[in-house]
Amino acid sequence: MNVKKSRSGFGTRAVHEGRGFAGTTGAVMPPVFLTSTFRRGNPDGFDYTRSGNPNFRLLEQSAASLEGARFATCFASGVSAITAVVSSLKSGDLVLAEENIYGCTYRLFDKVFAKFGLRVHYSDLSRSENWELIRRLRPTLVWLESPTNPLLKILDIAGISAAAAKARVPVLVDNTFASPYLQRPLEFGATLSLESTTKYINGHSDCLGGIVATNDQEWQQRMIFSQKALGLQPSPFDAWLTTRGQRTLALRMERHSANALELARWLEARKGVRNVRYPFLTSHPQYRLARRQMKAGSGIILAELDCSAKAALAFCRRLQFFTLAESLGGVESLICHPPSMTHASVPPEVRRRVGIGDGLLRFSVGIEDIEDLRQDVDAALKSTLRGARD
């Protein structure tokens, strides 16, 4: 990495890293290398796109810079990135995981890798007394999310990583909800930082992708092997789109966070809203930790309406600027009903135990004008409450 660039600010690195392979054209943006194979013996060392492509290399260089990492490996999706990590474990290995994790991660553990002998122990790792499990169970890997999906729990990455280091256990943090602009897990002692680049890093809801960043040479070799051996690589065009989207990450995250904080404060005072959770609300149970660990609160709000699942979905469908859809982190606002969408694969009893109720909603707040978003939510909420009374 260029020394001058490595010392630059985040926004400058986001704009200037990930450029190259323009040859003598003078092109400001790199081309898309839509090729499956390469002439043998070329100076840049490429041979077959499944095992490397110029667009992958540019994305990985820029992602590593923003994560504060020595290495980064790109994948076809966030789930592909998860698969790359978990597939590097062995039959009989134990993963100690935060009990509230992404539904697809739970499904991979429970429905796919369990068949090959992987064991997973779930615990509430927001409680420091449970960190003793790291010493007692000696897991092969500790799996965290912070903020968690969908409950927005904030985990003490530095504290858990320090406890794991004493037991010589690596720690992975799924950093998708924060992005490297707001939080860099490796700086808190984590071994691996995983992102679904589909979300905030790309930011435009037009491609899938994933990244695993690390400072550990051995883990990096595992990721390279997984990318090639399992065919988990993205398309060159998706890698190009992600690199392009990443350039505006700092600006977008500031607007997402500002909009979400204002909307969360407003929602807290609304009738019919049972509770609201947002990392930078003083009512959040880990508010002080969030302020210490994150630059801002990101764009996700969790709100539980005082209604049934049917009424909660009716509320979602009444919204004009929040589209009822999976995913998050795009410039447009989205609304999700986790019990019937992202966490439908989680057994109902598990959902209830960790706090995913029927009226739970996840707002992915976009970069639109906040007053338009607030009026939209207000109108849908009033209509839903009237319908519940009728």
pLDDT of residue 390: 53
Query: Would you call 181 a catalytic residue per the annotation?
Result: no
For 138-183, the pLDDT digits (tens) are: 999 999 999 999 899 999 999 999 999 999 999 999 999 999 999 9
Active-site option among 13, 57, 184, 199: 199
pLDDT of residue 342: 72
Query: Would you call 199 a catalytic residue per the annotation?
Result: yes
pLDDT of residue 341: 85
3-class secondary structure for the chain? CCHHHHCCCHHHHHHHCCCCCCCCCCCCCCCCCCCCECCCCCCCCCCEHHHCCHHHHHHHHHHHHHHCCCEEEEECCHHHHHHHHHCCCCCCCEEEEECCCCHHHHHHHHHHHHHHCCEEEEECCCCHHHHHHHHHHCCCEEEEECCCCCCCCCCCHHHHHHHHHHCCCCEEEECCCCHHHHCCHHHHCCCEEEEECCCCCCCCCCCCCEEEEECCHHHHHHHHHHHHHCCCCCCHHHHHHHHHHHCCHHHHHHHHHHHHHHHHHHHHCCCCEEEEECCCCCCCCCHHHHHHHCCCCCCEEEEEECCCHHHHHHHHHHCCCEEECCCCCCCCEEEECHHHCCCCCCCHHHHHHHCCCCCEEEEECCCCCHHHHHHHHHHHHHHHHHHHHC
Query: Would you call 135 a catalytic residue per the annotation?
Result: no
Nearest to 232 by CA among 19, 75, 374, 52: 75
pLDDT of residue 388: 60
pLDDT of residue 144: 98
Q: Kindly list the averaged pLDDT for each block of 10 residues, start to end, along the chain of length 390.
A: 65 94 90 97 96 97 98 98 98 97 93 97 98 98 96 97 98 98 98 98 98 98 97 98 98 98 97 94 98 98 90 94 96 93 79 82 97 97 75
Q: Residues, the chain, total?
A: 390
Active-site option among 102, 106, 181, 200: 102
Active-site option among 13, 153, 174, 277: 174
Model pTM? Answer: 0.94
